[in-house]
Amino acid sequence: MIRKAVLPVAGLGTRMLPATKAVPKEMLCLINKPVIQYIVEEAVASGIRDLIFVVSRGKEAILDHFDFSPELEAELEERGKKALLDEVRRVSGLVENLSAVRQKKALGLGHAILVAAPLVGDEPFAVLLGDDIVEAEEPCLRQLIRAAEELRAPVIGVERLPREEVHRYGVIDGEPLREGLYRINDVVEKPRPEEAPSELAIIGRYVFFPEIFTYLEKIPPGAGGEIQLTDALAAMIRDGKEVYALELKGVRYDTGNPEGFVKATVALALKDPELGPKIRKFLSDLL
């Protein structure tokens, strides 16, 4: 059973500046929920009970969002705002065990995961990155957990993208095993389009076994002087370890840049039962 997840949320969010000057990018709001809530809801719906946030200075709002807010609750109760009170309490109760660890220096995604090692301990765990939200019938992380439990090996979420887009991602070289499942032969971080080994890009969902920490501890800093998760994975694969990639079923939005953020907002608004018809009319009038 995989019940722990690490959520690295220490990044600066430079692609969304100036919005992210004083507000963590994870707290930017899609409709009426911060981005991080969509990700936490996916984790919880996938069976995760212990969430470990890897934070940096100024990210306290993320932790507060998933904690109780007694003053607000008392106020809503007094004013008889039952529906809002229920929703606020639901969010506070989403995460059974909430912990946080500080990444004191911005030394990369691999380093962020490594600082969570003492809290993860000796068991398999998931990693969810804060920019990608995925709409799927079966929660995206649940799809990966099922595969990892069956294969008893790490599984990484991938998506087939147009070749000109893969340079923004880690890209795998994989051998197809069955529909949507690959055994990974190599992985390259942010390759040039002509050098990309495939069009299968790593999106922000992973299931790891504690062995990954051994590799994160020993790899040297890579691109940008940062400890790259992709380099640790590549080292593991070179040692002959099995690592798999699963093409995720669902629609993903990268909310970490203005274009993706607006697309996610519009798509979610159109799907919302109450807002949908109004926004559809608004958009068609506008166009």
Looking at beta carbons only, is 92 or 255 nearer to ligand G1P? Answer: 255
- Which residue, 146, 153, 192, is CA-closest to 169? 192
The span of 33-41, 65-73, 197-205, 264-272 binding ligand G1P (CB under 6 A) equals 197-205
Site membership for ligand G1P, residue 158 (CB under 6 A): no
Site membership for ligand G1P, residue 253 (CB under 6 A): no
- Which residue, 224, 242, 181, 212, is CA-closest to 6? 212
Site membership for ligand G1P, residue 200 (CB under 6 A): no
Number of residues that bind ligand G1P (CB under 6 A): 13
Structure tokens at 174: 């994989």
The residues facing 172 across adjacent strands are 187
- Distance between CA 161 and CA 8 in Å, rounded? 24
The span of 59-67, 112-120, 141-149, 200-208 binding ligand G1P (CB under 6 A) equals 200-208
Structure tokens at 60: 């306290």
Site membership for ligand G1P, residue 42 (CB under 6 A): no
Residues 116-135 that bind ligand G1P (CB under 6 A): 129, 131-132
How near is the Cβ of 100 to ligand G1P at its closest, in Å?
A: 19
Q: Which residue is nearest to ligand G1P, using beta carbons?
A: 170
- Distance between CA 112 and CA 82 in Å, rounded? 39
- Distance between CA 251 and CA 256 in Å, rounded? 16
Looking at beta carbons only, is 202 or 269 nearer to ligand G1P? Answer: 202
Site membership for ligand G1P, residue 203 (CB under 6 A): yes
Residues 209/212/214/220 CA torsion (nearest 10 deg): 180
Looking at beta carbons only, is 58 or 260 nearer to ligand G1P? Answer: 260
**Coil/strand/helix, residue 127:** strand
How near is the Cβ of 190 to ligand G1P at its closest, in Å?
A: 7
Contacts of 71 (CB under 8 A, 6+ apart): none
Residues at the contact surface with ligand G1P, assessed by CB under 6 A: 109, 129, 131-132, 169-170, 189, 201-204, 229-230
